[in-house]
Amino acid sequence: MSSSITPARKRLMKDFKRLQEDPPQGIMGAPVENDIMTWHAVIFGPEGTPFEDGAFKLTLTFTEDYPNKAPVVKFVSRVYHPNVYKDGSICLDILQNKWSPTYNITGILTSIQSLLDEPNPNSPANAEAAQLYRENRREYERKVRDCVEESWSSDEEEEEDEDEDGQDGDDDDDGADGDAPDADKPDAAEQ
Amino acid sequence: MDDEETFMAMSDDEEFPVGGSDDEDFGEDNDDVMVDDDDDDGDDEAMFGVEESGAPTLLVDETQCTFITADELIAQQVHLIKEISSVLQLPHGTARVLLEHFGWSKEQLMERYWTEDHDKLFADARCIQPKDMKDQCDEDMCSICGNDNKEELLQIGCGHGFCHECWVAYLEEKILSQGKQSIECPEYNCNILVDESTVTSLLKGPAHAETLARYYERVADAIVDSKKTMRWCPAPDCKFAVIAPHSKCKMVKCKCGFEFCFQCGQENHTPVLCLMLKAWLKKCADDSETSNWLQAHTKPCPKCASVIEKNGGCNHMSCRKCKHEFCWICLGDWEPHGSSWFNCTRFNDSETAVVREKVDASRSLLKRYLFYFDRFKNHQSSRQFEEKLVKAVDWKMKQMQKQGWGWVEVQFLIQAVATLQQARRVLQYTYVFAYYLKKTPQCLIFEENQADLQMQTERLSEYLEQRAAKMDDLHNLKQQVMNLRAYCEHRLQKLVEHVEEGYKVGFWEYDEKIAEEMVGQVDEFNESLEL
């Protein structure tokens, strides 16, 4: 498995160790089995925010250039947020031009967690969410809570999917089904 | 083309020796001219009495620019850094970062250094004051890879230590992948710049030679970019930067021979201004003409407005989409046409007239564009063909030298080719100018100038291409070529002067599409004339 320990892999193992030893509140993450270059993570919505109780799943895809290059981080769960694209991509400076090799996985995930309640409406990835955030906070929060609820149900659906072993059973869902297969894609591509 | 006699007659034209005070006999007696003229081209330019101040700004003044290579540029900076470093008693790296911050201007740095608060000055320049420089790492571990061998950690005065491999990987990422030369400390939120000497010492050895070379390329680019009077020559493989006398400079000629616009970096586009050229190139590149083509060659279905192109002879059309049957000629329903469609009585129907008008307008717009584009392209391809002339003429020059002519005496041939190329280039761009010009009386004069230049250019081209190689009477050849060249140059100058005067006086009227923007551009141009 770990026949070739490249600097990127070595660093990822260190990150993993640090995350396990000192996990920040509301954050979970681990590499997928047999592939330390792909991680699954869950961020819980911070308390006292519209995202409270939400459990949002993400994938992190690393390259051998890590930590000199940022990983690709995507939400798997649907997240209604001014800085999150429809496909789950996140518009966050530290994942782009502000990336520094001293950042680690804990840093990335905590930054995303705090982004949830502190959106930057000036660089909208979801124009509607950005507009509602500015002009109609109540409606914005309602839509956020929709996706918080979904974050739990889609979890169950995914488990069901796994149980049914790939059968496209559910037909009355709202995009969550589209998300679930997406979650598997990066794994397939990486292996 | 016209024969020789016409040319002689034309040289007696009153207009010809305008301002030709330096050489008054020219034009009066063609036979004498230049036969005994062994000088280089300096003289024939003077012949038309172009006074220094009166030379059009849009023509290249070859004496005004200097040239520098990347290596020379960097050597110059090193010299400057040393000077600053000893005057201000600063470490080399610090002096460099400060200099770069002030756009490599020694004066500006000196002034600010003595007048401003140092804490702010150094923070703005993103470097650490010598008194605040740390000599040890803050932590015992490299925060990139976690290496905890303290001996191997390196920091740049801000206390953030990283091991050698991590530094190198970081620099490679910044230089090779991101093409940066201004590189910050790897630590998040630390904006202290890594100075050149640190980069050089970290990237030592053949393994990093390529990275380091790339780094220095970027350093030189940054220096050129920071200077408003400097620009890289855009010619492929040319290694020179051109230093212009002022930042508003228009057309310049690089040491490599390439002429370009100092403002927009395109090849010398006299007499049009950058904005016009930009609009033209955009028009040629995008498919803005496609819609005109559609309008000119298709008709909308009268019922569902689908675009229909007629590809057969029959005028009984049936729309594939809505099945509507109509007449291509009058766009009316087919039904009343019956079997005798040609008795199309509905021609004057008002609705039809509107459609027709639209089609006609588009058709004429397209025609107009194609007219100018065709001529623009034509001169461009002629220029490419005429590259061959350089070789042919070179051969002829060698032949002449074998027959006892001096090197200086045969230069007229290559100079004539240069004039030809210049005239072609100017002609090419006059069509861009004409395209955006509204028809005014001045426009007619311009068109006449253009026609004159075109005629002289074709004469010179024809003479050089068809006859020059075969001529045995070399004295006659020289006289002919020099006359043709002189007249061509004269026409060229007249044309450019006229266009420039129009910018100055403001008698050009431009197409609505660019008229508004042109106001600013022309003002800018006129300002540059005063420099």
Distance from CA of A6 to the nearest CA of B (A): 11
Residue A60 has pLDDT above 90, yes or no: yes
Taking alpha carbons only, the member of A38, A18, A123, A108 closest to residue B188 is A108
Cis omega (within 30 of 0) for bond into B271 = yes
Q: Is residue B371 a part of any domain in this protein?
A: yes
Q: Which residue has the tokens 């290496």?
A: B147
Lowest mean pLDDT among A66-75, B24-33, B320-329, B409-418: B24-33
Taking alpha carbons only, the member of B210, B246, B217, B209 closest to residue B230 is B246
B179 and B73 housed in the same domain: yes
Residue B43 has pLDDT above 60, yes or no: no
CA distance A75 to A97: 20
Is the Cβ of B170 closer than 8 Å to some Cβ of chain A? Answer: yes
Partners of B146 on chain A (C-beta within 8 Å) are: 11, 14
B312 and B461 housed in the same domain: no
Q: Is residue B268 a part of any domain in this protein?
A: no
* The pLDDT value given to residue B2: 40
With 0-12 CB in 10 A as exposed, 13-18 as middle and 19+ as buried, what is B297?
middle
Question: How much of chain A, in percent, has pLDDT values that exceed 90?
Answer: 51
Work out the pLDDT band at B348, boundaries 50, 70, 90.
low
| Phi and psi, residue B67, nearest 5° | -130, 150
Provide the sign of the torsion angle of the four alpha carbons B272, B275, B281, B284, taken in this order: negative
Q: What is the pLDDT of residues B61-106, one digit of tens each?
A: 777 789 999 999 999 999 999 999 999 999 988 999 999 999 888 9
Q: Is residue B484 a part of any domain in this protein?
A: yes
Question: How much of chain B, in percent, has pLDDT values that exceed 90?
Answer: 29
Partners of A65 on chain B (C-beta within 8 Å) are: 173
Are the Cβ atoms of A7 and B165 closer than 8 angstroms? yes
* The pLDDT value given to residue B56: 67
* The pLDDT value given to residue B134: 87
Cα–Cα–Cα angle for B263, B97, B161, rounded to 5 degrees = 130
| Phi and psi, residue B261, nearest 5° | -85, 125
Q: Is residue B185 a part of any domain in this protein?
A: yes
Q: Higher confidence at residue B523 or residue A2?
A: B523
Is the Cβ of B148 closer than 8 Å to some Cβ of chain A? Answer: no
Partners of B186 on chain A (C-beta within 8 Å) are: 100-102
Q: Higher confidence at residue A191 or residue B281?
A: B281
What range defines the domain where residue B437 resides?
A: 366-530
Q: Is residue B243 a part of any domain in this protein?
A: no
B351 and B310 housed in the same domain: yes
Lowest mean pLDDT among B21-30, B194-203, B342-351, B488-497: B21-30
Residue B18 has pLDDT above 50, yes or no: no
Lowest mean pLDDT among A128-142, B197-211, B334-348: B334-348
Work out the pLDDT band at B51, boundaries 50, 70, 90.
very low
Residue B493 has pLDDT above 80, yes or no: yes
* The pLDDT value given to residue B35: 37
B375 and B455 housed in the same domain: yes
Residue A140 has pLDDT above 70, yes or no: yes
State the average pLDDT over residues B372-383. 88
Is the Cβ of B141 closer than 8 Å to some Cβ of chain A? Answer: no
* The pLDDT value given to residue B468: 73
Selecting among A91, A105, A109, A180, the annotated active-site residue is: A91
* The pLDDT value given to residue B288: 57
Distance from CA of A48 to the nearest CA of B (A): 29
B168 and B134 housed in the same domain: yes
Helix A105-117 vs helix A7-21: crossing angle, to nearest 10: 60
ipTM over 0.90: no
Are the Cβ atoms of B187 and A67 closer than 8 angstroms? no
Residue B332 has pLDDT above 80, yes or no: no
Q: Within 13 A of B531's CA, how many CA atoms are on the CB side?
A: 14
B99 and B224 housed in the same domain: yes
Q: What is the pLDDT of residues A72-95, one digit of tens each?
A: 999 999 999 999 998 999 988 889
- Residue B256 falls in the annotated catalytic set: no
Distance from CA of B164 to the nearest CA of A (A): 13
Bridge partners (DSSP) listed for residue A94: none
Partners of A102 on chain B (C-beta within 8 Å) are: 143-144, 160, 186-188
B112 and B223 housed in the same domain: yes
Distance from CA of B282 to the nearest CA of A (A): 29
* The pLDDT value given to residue B345: 56
Bridge partners (DSSP) listed for residue A72: A61
CA distance B81 to B98: 9
DSSP string, chain A: --S---HHHHHHHHHHHHHHHSPPTTEEEEEETTEEEEEEEEEEPPTTSTTTT-EEEEEEE--TTTTTSPPEEEESS----TTB-TTSBB--GGGTTT--TT--HHHHHHHHHHHHHS--TTS-SSHHHHHHHHH-HHHHHHHHHHHHHHHHHHHHHHHHHHHHTS-----S-SSHHHHHHHHHHHHHHH-
Q: Higher confidence at residue B516 or residue A104?
A: A104
* The pLDDT value given to residue A111: 93
Are the Cβ atoms of B186 and A11 closer than 8 angstroms? no
Q: Higher confidence at residue B305 or residue B250?
A: B250
DSSP string, B40-89: -THHHHHHTT--GGGS-TTS--TTS-EEEEHHHHHHHHHHHHHHHHHHTT
B331 and B474 housed in the same domain: no
Distance from CA of A111 to the nearest CA of B (A): 13
Instruction: Return the structure tokens found at A12.
Output: 């990822």
Nearest CA in chain A to B185: A100
Q: Is residue B263 a part of any domain in this protein?
A: no
The helix/strand/coil state of A187 is helix
Are the Cβ atoms of A101 and B165 closer than 8 angstroms? no
Q: What is the pLDDT of residues B224-272, one digit of tens each?
A: 988 888 999 999 889 999 998 888 888 899 999 899 999 889 999 989 9
* The pLDDT value given to residue B245: 87
Q: Higher confidence at residue B148 or residue B436?
A: B436
Q: Which of B323, B355, B387 is the last residue of a domain?
A: B355
The helix/strand/coil state of B117 is coil
* The pLDDT value given to residue B337: 66
Strand segments, DSSP code E, in chain A are 27-32, 35-44, 55-61, 72-75
B393 and B330 housed in the same domain: no
* The pLDDT value given to residue B279: 86
The one-letter amino acid code at B103 reads G
Classify domain A7-190 at the CATH class level.
alpha beta
Residue B426 has pLDDT above 90, yes or no: yes
B58 with B271: CB under 8 angstroms? Answer: yes
B372 and B346 housed in the same domain: no
B341 and B394 housed in the same domain: no
* The pLDDT value given to residue B339: 54
B193 and B73 housed in the same domain: yes
With 0-12 CB in 10 A as exposed, 13-18 as middle and 19+ as buried, what is A172?
exposed
- Within B227-313, residue ranges assigned H as helices are 274-285, 288-297
Q: What's the number of domains chain B is made of?
A: 3
* The pLDDT value given to residue B463: 87
**CATH, residue B199:** 3.30.40.10
Q: Which of B207, B230, B253 is the last residue of a domain?
A: B230
Are the Cβ atoms of B187 and A102 closer than 8 angstroms? yes
* The pLDDT value given to residue B471: 72
Are the Cβ atoms of B144 and A94 closer than 8 angstroms? no
Lowest mean pLDDT among B34-38, B279-283, B451-455: B34-38
The C-alpha R_g of chain B, in whole angstroms, comes to 33
Across chain B, what does the average pLDDT equal?
80
Lowest mean pLDDT among A7-21, A73-87, B68-82, B131-145: B131-145
Residue B11 has pLDDT above 80, yes or no: no
Q: Is residue B7 a part of any domain in this protein?
A: no
Lowest mean pLDDT among B143-152, B204-213, B264-273, B390-399: B143-152
State the average pLDDT over residues B153-165. 90
Residue of B137, B160, B164, B166 to mutate, interface with A, max A Cβ within 10 Å: B166
